[in-house]
Amino acid sequence: MARARRRGGRRTALGRAERAELSSVPPRGWRLAAGSPFSPGDPRLGWGPSHQEPIIDSKTFAATLARWCQEKKAEEISVHAVAERLGLAEYFLLVTGLNKNHVRALENELHMRGKAIGQRHHPVEGGELHWWVVLDFDDVVVHILQPEARAYYDLDRLYRDCPRLDWEAVPVTEDLHAAEA
């Protein structure tokens, strides 16, 4: 749906050039200081497209996320290598949280510690009910489920043909493992 602007009390549709210009404009309330070395679409500012290289490889990141979940007393932690089967991610991390509050705590922990090491995820799916929460870090997708949801959807059976990663055997550097928000 095209954005509209007001002109003389009427709303008129924005043209293609005006919509393209808006996509490179910072969020409302953000202003660039006079003489700033940044341009409005600069990825270092936190809006617009970002093409940054990941700071750790996806296998190590998946193992690190699994360890963080283990520290928060998550149960039934499994990491599946899904790259060949799905092509949309390299690893799926399946985790069971004991209840709604535990799922929320796991989500928050992964978000904050991932952010501390420079890993960002797409908007959280399922964050309203905390029955099944999905954090998509591009190459690693984390599914945090309550026990009833894990039994009902049975994602382990769905990905049983995908090789499992022995995440406890993957070496993780201590500075990543100890990262705090």
pTM of the model: 0.68
What pLDDT is attached to residue 122?
Answer: 92
119 and 74 housed in the same domain: yes
36 and 108 housed in the same domain: no
Higher pLDDT, 125 or 30: 125
For the cut 70, the answer to whether the pLDDT of residue 53 exceeds it is no
Residue 50, in any domain of the structure: no
pLDDT, average across residues 154-162: 92
For the cut 90, the answer to whether the pLDDT of residue 94 exceeds it is yes
80 and 164 housed in the same domain: yes
For the cut 70, the answer to whether the pLDDT of residue 32 exceeds it is no
Q: By residue range, what is the domain housing residue 146?
A: 58-177
- Predicted confidence (pLDDT) per residue in 99-120, tens digit: 999 999 999 999 999 999 889 8
| Confidence label for 88 from pLDDT (cuts 50, 70 and 90) | confident
Residue 119, in any domain of the structure: yes
154 and 83 housed in the same domain: yes
What pLDDT is attached to residue 18?
Answer: 52
142 and 66 housed in the same domain: yes
Higher pLDDT, 139 or 42: 139
For the cut 80, the answer to whether the pLDDT of residue 54 exceeds it is no
For the cut 60, the answer to whether the pLDDT of residue 144 exceeds it is yes
Domain count, the chain: 2
36 and 95 housed in the same domain: no
41 and 127 housed in the same domain: no
- What SS3 string covers the chain? CCCEEEECCEEEECCHHHHHHHHCCCCCCCCCCCCCCCCCCCHHHCCCCCCCCCCCCHHHHHHHHHHHHHHCCCEEEEEEECCCCCCCCCEEEEEECCCHHHHHHHHHHHHHHHHHCCCCCCCCECCCCCCEEEEECCCEEEEEECHHHHHHHCHHHHCCCCCEECHHHCCCCHHHHCCCC
76 and 164 housed in the same domain: yes
